[in-house]
Structure 1
Amino acid sequence: MSLLSLNQVSAFYGPSQALFDVNFSVAEGEVVALMGRNGMGKSTTIKVICRMLQHRGGTVMFAGNDVARSPSHKVARMGVGLVPEGRRCFSDLTVYENLIAAARKGAWDFAAVAELFPRLLERRGQAAGTLSGGEQQMLAIGRALMTNPKLLLLDEATEGLAPVVRQEIWQAISKLKAQTGLAIVVVDKSLQELRGVADTAVILEKGTSVWNGAFAELSADVTDRFLGI
């Protein structure tokens, strides 16, 4: 049984349609790469899953529940953890305060997050707004993990970061895959890094899912056609 499934999902921003026909599923413990060129609907799909944007057609099911009428805070409590594009940490709060702001009981507590990202332990009492971009991204991931989700959504988690920090983030994602049963959806452009963690791939083109399958089966023809690589 799928933990998350989207079936023929459409969505709009006002009168403008952004998603036309999005279909994919995520099993428990599976890592799915959500891919596509800029403006093809990846972040919009993430917003629909988190209920920050309501879909008008199709169905979105999470953990056996139709979430069409569920507000975003309820879906978060159901087990959807979001690391949004742009990080969006609480700049005036300390690292520790950011992490406990939405924490829920479970395996992911401050000690577990600090083990995954030791730099956050070093910066525990520092205001989030004074952290580097990479440290803020680690904080955003740690904050989502401390909600103890069943599904983690990473929207462009390595965009704009220095190569060494990007590598730290990818290593953390690999650890999450290897050591936990967490399902993960990763929005990213780096085929090389995705190849090391993703089980399956979904490609969006103009708001429609145009390819869905095992990541290992992604061919050069497909990536040239839909990703411009």
Structure 2
Amino acid sequence: MPLPENRTALIVGASRGLGLALANEYLKRDWRVIATVRGSRHTLLHDLAAASEGRLQIEMIDINARDDVANLRQRLDQRHLDLLFVNAGVAIDPDVAIGKVSTEDFVTVMVTNALSPMRVIEALHALVPPSGTIVAMSSDLGSVSDNVDGGWEAYRASKAALNTLMRSFAARHAGDPRSFLLIAPGWVRTDMGGPEAELSIEESIPRVVDTVSAQAGVPGLQYLDYQGRIVAW
């Protein structure tokens, strides 16, 4: 059954890749979408908005800039968000051992992948009603238990940090009726995932949205993959 047309999703980080696909998928499912881009250049998201008959609103925000996050919160102050989905991720060469990663690169990865998504959630979560859902895009690589192969060390650390911070957020909101999710979309063929990745965007994102939809109304935090399977912490 289609969801009511007035359902609204905010997708943070949607200019390309997984975020762009999320915006497109929610539009296909009759949601209204607010989606963010970092800069002022024209993107495929702008083309999607032009064809959306007014159902896609674009906001500009650099999530690493605290003032940008605060200003977005102010602009959306009267909005009702059924879904807040924070999609953010940068990576460096997966084969570089942690001892050879520069401090600058490590800080960039940790801030972009862990600190900034949580700042967005902290700033905007009050716009999500008790029936709503708050999602952060994680990764299978964020699982400490499943790390038996190594590689992607800085990226793994950042997603594990995101998972830990989201658990802390959920603990501070014990008894909250909202659904909190960490989603691992699988290894997807994007600019970051690379051409050798196992999944196409079309194989991942519709299932991600199915998984998020299936958990609506289920309180507490879950760490799930794109097929709805539990990922070990």
Q: TM-score, normalised by structure 2?
A: 0.29
Higher RCO (C-alpha 8 Å, min separation 6): 1
- Structure having the higher helix fraction is 2
